[in-house]
Amino acid sequence: MKTLFHPSLYQFDQVQPSYWEATAGSSKLKGEPLSGTQSCDVAIIGGGYTGLSAALHLARDFSVDVCLLEAGHIGWGASGRNGGFCTMGGTKVSLKSQLKRFGVEQTRGFHQSQAEAVNLVRALGEDENIDYLPQGDCEFIVADSPDHFVDLQKQAELEQTLLGLDVTVHSQDEFREIGYDSPHQHGAIALRPSFALHPLRYAHGLAAATERRGARIHAYSEVVHWRKQEDGGHLLETASGSLHAKRVILTGNGFMPEHLHHGVKGRPLPVQSAIVVTRPMSASELQQKGWHTENPTINSKHMFFYYRLLKDGRFMLGGRANHIGDPAGAEQTFSQLKQSITRMWPQFAGIEYTHQWRGLVCMALNLRPSIGRMPEDKSVFFAYGYHGNGVNSATWSGRELARWMAGKNSGNSVSPTHLPAIIRGRPPRFPLAFLRRQYVRAGLAIYSLRDRFNF
């Protein structure tokens, strides 16, 4: 298979050396590989949050006969290796542009759906007894400069008055007391109901709940061929078996298997994200370093960092990585992330690091997530493009796909017209799609310049 990034990012039999894998607990679902010839109503390609949530809701709420095929172990993709921020976002379209293009009602609908998606993750945790180690009760966005704080205050006002979101503003002095201090801290806003969790435990919990509801889950079952059948159905082939399905949900996000279906070719824009984690720090050490929060936090730059404390007192920080994806480039990224930590928080200088890993998030040309079905084959559904914010968005999109497919409102439409306009339909194909990595490179350079010269 020809891959967009370096092949080292697509080794389905390799487990990431992540903190999450090291602390996944005992709830791992084995999921035997597909064998022989099987059939089902809905086949799902990909065992991340999108696929698992779609499978769970189809099986649990609508008694649909579902079979999910995952190329690696369950949660092998971004769902098992992200930062665990269950926060609001999902699009890179600025709030001003959203309002201008989609109007207040649709924009409000989208942001409310993001808050609903966070609450859905909480509810699934409780209802399905998922041990995902929740932390915090909001998300902080920290101003990197006094100008950024003015911008954040304006954003908070719009979010409160027009979008009905729960946002509070905290001055630099206030945030020093409830968050942390840093030469790069100039005040912050807090968004609720966001929180943080253990992403791999969440994926395993979703998988266990899905199996309990009677859906079949096969790990180590990479779909290598997809053949359309004369009866309108589909035949999905893996190395050890084949699956007949009436309908297919194609997921994959940053790891989208574009070679399997023409309808998705050249549309996702995978971008690397990387994470480093320190040794644990005791409560008194953290107190001494002036760190007071467990809430997931990002800073206000275009090339922003995301960071949080973990349950055992470790500090985790993530950011964008290079446009190639080779192991040498990854090492460079990890050391740049560590240098950034020392620059932003001199009190962490010299601390040891225990884990580092990376993965792919997914952007799109229209800078929006999408839920839809292929215009060229309406028995194929998809959801992807969460712009680095899939813990809540992918879970919600999976549920909405399930509801759409099982409900009366699916009709013949290629996009779920009952959902907010911002997430409807298929993202456009990139012109000269083979150049997508170069587009990523240019995008990263532009973001760096904007941060440096503040425009």
Ligand X SMILES: Cc1cc2nc3c(=O)[nH]c(=O)nc-3n(C[C@H](O)[C@H](O)[C@H](O)COP(=O)(O)OP(=O)(O)OC[C@H]3O[C@@H](n4cnc5c(N)ncnc54)[C@H](O)[C@@H]3O)c2cc1C
Residues in touch with ligand X (CB under 6 A): 12, 45-51, 69-72, 76-79, 81-85, 222-223, 251-255, 257, 273, 275, 306, 318, 358-361, 384, 386, 388-391, 394
Cβ neighbours of residue 161 under 8 Å, at least 6 residues apart? Answer: none
Residue ranges in 164-219 assigned as alpha helix (H): 172-178, 199-212
Distance between CA atoms of residues 318 and 20, nearest Å: 14
Nearer to ligand X, 76 or 149 (CB): 76
For every residue of 240-265, which 3-state class applies, written as one string?
Answer: CEEEEEEEEEECCHHHCCHHHCHHHC
Nearer to ligand X, 123 or 449 (CB): 123
DSSP 3-state assignment of 89? coil
Residues 281 and 298 sit within 8 Å (Cβ to Cβ) = no
Residues 215 and 55 sit within 8 Å (Cβ to Cβ) = yes
Q: How far is the CB of 455 from ligand X (least distance, A)?
A: 27
Nearer to ligand X, 72 or 416 (CB): 72
Q: How far is the CB of 5 from ligand X (least distance, A)?
A: 12
Distance between CA atoms of residues 33 and 242, nearest Å: 11
Q: How far is the CB of 189 from ligand X (least distance, A)?
A: 18
Torsion of CA 450, 275, 337, 308, to 10 degrees: 80
Nearer to ligand X, 49 or 334 (CB): 49
Nearer to ligand X, 347 or 379 (CB): 379
Closest-CB residue for ligand X?
A: 390
Q: How far is the CB of 203 from ligand X (least distance, A)?
A: 8
Q: How far is the CB of 252 from ligand X (least distance, A)?
A: 4
Q: How far is the CB of 72 from ligand X (least distance, A)?
A: 5
Residues 253 and 385 sit within 8 Å (Cβ to Cβ) = yes
Nearer to ligand X, 176 or 338 (CB): 338
Q: Around 90, how many Cα atoms within 13 Å sit in the side-chain half-sphere?
A: 29
* Tokens at 8, concatenated: 């080292």
Q: How far is the CB of 90 from ligand X (least distance, A)?
A: 8
Greatest distance between any 2 Cα atoms in the chain: 69
Distance between CA atoms of residues 95 and 86, nearest Å: 20
